[in-house]
């Protein structure tokens, strides 16, 4: 009984952040359904760009693929946590955001030498994993983790990575890469900045709308770029 009460109280991690869970549909809050559905939608979109990712092997498509995968995992498990009030699921969501961020942060350093990029990636990943382990030490820290991670996602993935992708898109003269970068950067910023801000303020329905728009922007830009004049795939450094 003690453990059950602890899980229920810790479940406020996400539930307390979101004031309006929406009406009940078949016994499940509508916003929970939206969150889990978003995760499934992101997974489908990640599968859809798997072939372009494997074919082109550059840091831009790699960052977009990592974004779709970690968002699929995090949204699905955040939805499950909201339904079950079991903090274990929000911890899984937080870990996926940390790991996905390490891969996405490769893009801002894509002009550096390969060895330097590998070193930076390893350092970022180790630091993020260390932070995650630190938060796992006590129930109180775990309750604070997702709130911190949403802000981290907003800054690291939204502003830094999404912003750098968008800037790259405006600067490059190569048509296909410009299309991918502008669409991809817009998608990443839509989810990581606007959707996260809405979630942090308790507007989950608004958050879900902008979260759904992100993969739409990404897939549309990749499909549009595919129909443009073929250009070299090494406009940005290849994924090592």
The pLDDT of residue 103: 94
In a domain, 236, yes or no: no
Domain assignment present for residue 106? The answer is: yes
Let me know the angle formed at the C-alpha of 17 by 11 and 19, rounded to the nearest 5 degrees: 105
Answer yes or no: is 197 within a domain.
yes
Report yes or no on 20 lying in a domain.
no
Of the ranges 8-22, 174-188, 195-209, which one carries the lowest mean pLDDT score? 8-22
pLDDT at position 28, please?
A: 67
Q: Which residues pair with 29 in a beta bridge?
A: 24
Confidence of residue 192 (pLDDT cuts 50, 70, 90): very high
For tokens 């405006």, what's the residue? 170
What average pLDDT does the segment 40-62 reach? 84
DSSP category for residue 49 = T
**53-57, 98-102, 213-217, 233-237: the lowest-pLDDT one:** 233-237
Kind and range of the H or E run holding 139: helix 139-152
| pLDDT, average across residues 206-221 | 86
Q: Is residue 12 part of a domain?
A: no
Q: Quick check: is 130 in a domain?
A: yes
Tell me whether residue 32 is in a domain: yes
Mean pLDDT of 204-229: 80
Query: What's the rounded Cα separation, in Å, for the pair 24 and 105?
Result: 39
- Number of structural domains (the chain) is 1
Tens digit of pLDDT for each residue in 100-127? 999 999 999 988 888 999 999 999 999 9
Q: What's the pLDDT band for 157 if we cut at 50, 70, 90? A: very high
What percentage of the chain carries pLDDT values higher than 70? 81
Range of the domain at 213: 27-227
Residue indicated by tokens 């910023």: 189
Single pTM value for the model: 0.81
What pLDDT score does 13 carry? 45
Please name which of 62, 39, 3 lies closest in space to residue 214, comparing C-alpha atoms. Answer: 39
CATH of the domain at 76: 1.20.1070
- 234 in a domain, yes or no? no
């Amino acid at each position: 009984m003690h453990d059950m009460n602890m899980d229920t109280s810790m479940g406020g991690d996400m539930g307390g952040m979101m004031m309006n869970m929406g009406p009940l549909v078949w016994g499940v809050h509508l916003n929970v359904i939206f969150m889990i559905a978003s995760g499934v939608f992101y997974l489908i979109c990640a599968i859809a760009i798997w072939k372009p990712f494997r074919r082109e092997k550059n840091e831009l498509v790699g960052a977009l693929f990592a974004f779709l995968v970690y968002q699929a995992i995090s949204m699905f498990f955040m939805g499950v946590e909201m339904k079950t009030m079991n903090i274990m699921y929000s911890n899984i969501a937080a870990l996926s955001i940390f790991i996905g961020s390490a891969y996405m942060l490769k893009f801002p350093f894509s002009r550096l030498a390969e060895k330097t990029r590998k070193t930076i990636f390893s350092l970022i990943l180790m630091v993020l994993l260390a932070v995650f382990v630190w938060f796992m030490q006590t129930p109180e820290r775990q309750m604070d983790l997702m709130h911190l991670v949403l802000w981290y996602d907003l800054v690291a993935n939204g502003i830094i990575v999404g912003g750098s992708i968008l800037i790259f898109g405006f600067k490059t003269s190569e048509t296909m890469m410009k299309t991918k970068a502008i669409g991809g950067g817009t998608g990443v910023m839509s989810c990581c900045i606007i959707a996260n801000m809405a979630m942090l303020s308790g507007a989950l329905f608004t958050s879900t709308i902008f979260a759904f728009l992100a993969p739409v922007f990404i897939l549309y830009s990749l499909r549009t770029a595919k129909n443009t004049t073929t250009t070299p795939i090494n406009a940005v450094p290849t994924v090592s």
